[in-house]
Amino acid sequence: MSKRKAKTPRNQARAAQPKEARILAMLRKPRGATTAEMMKAMGYASHSVRSVLSNLRRFAEIKIERTFDTKRGFVYRAPSKSEGK
């Protein structure tokens, strides 16, 4: 017999992935993060970064704010754990 792991809800499994956790840590800093900064830190292409942001929004139900900075471009931020989702 093979041992199977218990299934977890989809949003909990997605929220636990390391790549998303690393990007979420960048988003929770007061300064936030741009797509270019996340690409450089993770070694990802821009479409991969946008995919991770989408997964955080959809499956982990984390609110991500986007603002425009004249020097940095679009900056993404997520509320810290103390502020809630």
Every domain of the chain and the residues it spans: 10-77
Can you tell me the distance from the alpha carbon of 42 to that of 40, in angstroms, rounded to the nearest whole number?
A: 6
Per-residue model confidence as pLDDT tens digits over 44-78? 999 999 999 999 999 888 999 999 999 999 999 99
The CATH class that applies to domain 10-77 reads mainly alpha
Buried residues in 7-46 as b, exposed as e (16+ CB within 10 A)? eeeeeeebbebeebeebbebbbeeebbbbebbeeeeebee
Query: What proportion of the chain, given as a percentage, has pLDDT over 70?
Result: 74
